[in-house]
Chains A and B, each alone.
Chain A
Amino acid sequence: MKAMEVHGVGVTFGGIIAVHDVSFAVEPGEIFAVIGPNGAGKTTLFNAVTGIHPPTHGHVELDGREQVAPMTRQTMVELLVAFLLVGVGVAATVNVERLWQASVIDNYIYEQPFPWGSALADLGRAVATLGWLGGALPLVCGGLVGAGAAWTNWSRARRSPDHIARTGVARTFQNIRLFNELSLVQNVLVGMDARMRAGFFSALLRLPRFRRERERFHAEAMKLLEFVGLADRALEAAGALPYGFRRRLEIARALAGTPKLILLDEPAAGMNPTEVGGLMALIRRVRDRGTTVILIEHHMKLVMGISDRIHVLQYGRTIAEGSPDAIRSNPRCIEAYLGVEENG
């Protein structure tokens, strides 16, 4: 089974075709590079895969499964609940004074215990007399609005970046996007959020479950920071990190969700040769953990040095795919990207 399959993916923004009919498959445990000149659509392709700009054509499969969340029984129940809640809410709001009068005011006699039974019965009778215009129409209209909104919400969320991240695809960004005011550990812990189970009340009441989970994930986050070589700075603010370290932190944050697939968008941008060497070693170690790596890069030494296969894009279209040696000797790639060597 492939780790990821991209089937004829196209992304258009209005009339602009950013990516056109790109297909490729990535094997598990592979380091797969996507290269191409500036504006070739590499980052757009990443955004399509991670759900930031869902593809206008084609689709992406992970582990042989469609990325889009399926319609489950739970979804249908939720739609029904939204219909009923909003419908009843609207109908009750429209008739609030009448219902209040019939159930509460008519039954309440000062200084006598409130007759709940007959009040509820009166409420039921009042609801029954609402009729078509007062009761059913607001109920249906409100219900349709509620269910429609819930439907829209669901269909947007089914391919949203958070859903895709939770299916095991992590990414880094071309222009590093760390949470600058949070410490390094906390940045990594944000990446672990999808795996945490303790909810609102266990956090509010500091239940044992919350404490156990906190200890466990904190230890794991420290291990990840050690893995990328940042453990000694764990409690500093991410915004204060030097540039080269930020990339490493972003990789640690992406790894925190234990993804099957990690997308690195120009990880070597702005790094000096020593840092690039360290980054290459780090990417190899990430792969050795069992994570499939897909990267966009301009730094040829890095791409040629670590990639198993390379996919070349130009103007949003595929022009070649193959091993580093094959790409290096492919005349179209040389022309488009690597540049023709001048003799003499």
Chain B
Amino acid sequence: MRWRPGPIVTILAIAAVVPLVDLVLPAELALSEAVRTVFLYAILALGLNVMTGYAGMLNLGIAAFMAIGAYAFGILSCEIYPFQLGFWPALALTIPIGALAGFILGAPTLGLRGDYLAIVTLGFGEIVQDILKNLDSITKGMQGINPLPAPSIGGAMWTSNDERSWYYLLLALLTLTVIAARNLERSRLGRAWFSIREDELASRSMGIRVERAKMIAFATGAAIAAFAGGLSASVLSSTGEPNNYDFQVSILALCIIIVGGIGGVAGVLVGSLVMVGLNSIVLAKATAWMAAHGIGSQGNVMLSPNNWKFLIFGLALVIAVRIKPTGILPPKLERGRV
């Protein structure tokens, strides 16, 4: 059979070409901070997809793992702390730290199902924020930890001015995450996750160790989310305040995988482009355009599209679920092997 590029390869290839052609998007937009957010959310949503999409465990607190990753990156790399690791080792360490955090939350909650697990993870999301706020001797409280290092390769620094390097770095890291998620999905472990999602009792009766598989899903998802967190802290050169990792972030990640197509990598990529693109590109552009043309720029908060964004989000979600309940790019049955 002739090899044809699947949707994932297509999406990543298009993403690789976009900055080279000025036709599709003006260069300053394609490479601006808005596009970085799309990448960061795509990685975060891939992490959530491991828990919620593959293993079927609804998680409403994924932002907490992102926060843990961001603060771990901050503490390990910022010059006000003794560790002062560079970008790469600090970023690499966010992965095991996130997995450990996922393990700590996952271990006591293994027996919980569906709604109960969702409530616990929701609570966890809030608790982590509170801890970060109140433990200010370590986390610097509401100030956040800054400045944080930008990535460097062979001594050459990536500065925030070099938009194109950032773009390709994020694309490469996203591609790595995609490969990791795909490899796990198409393995014994992924099959166990799918079987648990479909019928926990039947898969248990076939000898699947359900608790163990769920635990690995939790730790893997948390590790990917923490990786996204560390990366976002480096992008902003600051962890930001703890409120940056609130419930909105978790919900946006959940919307991404629902709108894109829960349980599939391609769906998550499209979903993050649609949802985050709507948030940080379309709405931001619309607001700027209206301001430039003197519509509602001063005073009238009702005339700013940015202030309507949660209404628009909700509407987009309702429409998406009504028209295509399985998402824009629903995962295909793995017809091939394994």
Contacts and interface: CB of A to CB of B under 8 A. Distances in A.
B23 interface: no
Nearest to A256: B206
Given A104-B81, A189-B338, A200-B189, A180 B205 contact: no
Most buried by A among B79, B204, B336: B204
B138 A179 contact: no
Contacts of A336: none
B211 interface: yes
Interface stretch (B114-122, B179-187, B244-252, B296-304): B179-187
Interface in B299-324: none
Interface in A65-109: 89, 96-97, 100-101, 104-105, 107-108
Contact of A191 (B187, B207, B337): B207
A162 B216 contact: no
Contacts, number: 129
A190 B82 contact: no
B297 to A, nearest CB: 45
B150 interface: no
B241 to A, nearest CB: 20
Contact of A100 (B137, B216, B337): B137
Interface in A228-287: 235, 237, 253-254, 256-257
Interface in A154-195: 157, 160-162, 165-166, 170-171, 173, 177-183, 185-186, 189-191, 193-194
A162 B207 CA distance: 4
A121 interface: no
A171 B205 contact: yes
Contacts of B110: 153
B138 A50 contact: no
B207 A165 contact: yes
Contacts of B334: 182-183, 186
A227 interface: no
B146 interface: no
**Chain A interface category by residue count:** 35 or more
Interface in A192-218: 193-194, 196, 198, 200, 203-206, 210, 213-214, 218
Contact of B183 (A101, A107, A166, A206): A206
Contacts of B137: 97, 100-101, 105
A126 interface: no
25 contacts: A52-B205, A96-B135, A96-B138, A97-B138, A108-B82, A157-B211, A161-B204, A161-B205, A162-B204, A162-B205, A165-B204, A177-B201, A177-B202, A182-B333, A189-B188, A190-B206, A190-B208, A191-B206, A193-B191, A193-B208, A203-B183, A203-B187, A203-B188, A210-B187, A218-B337
Interface of A: 50, 52, 89, 96-97, 100-101, 104-105, 107-108, 110, 114, 119, 149, 153, 157, 160-162, 165-166, 170-171, 173, 177-183, 185-186, 189-191, 193-194, 196, 198, 200, 203-206, 210, 213-214, 218, 235, 237, 253-254, 256-257
Given A165-B205, A165-B206, A203-B188, 8 more contacts: A50-B205, A52-B205, A97-B137, A105-B137, A153-B211, A177-B199, A182-B191, A182-B333
Interface of B: 79-84, 104, 107-108, 110, 135, 137-138, 180, 183-184, 187-192, 194-195, 198-199, 201-211, 216, 333-338
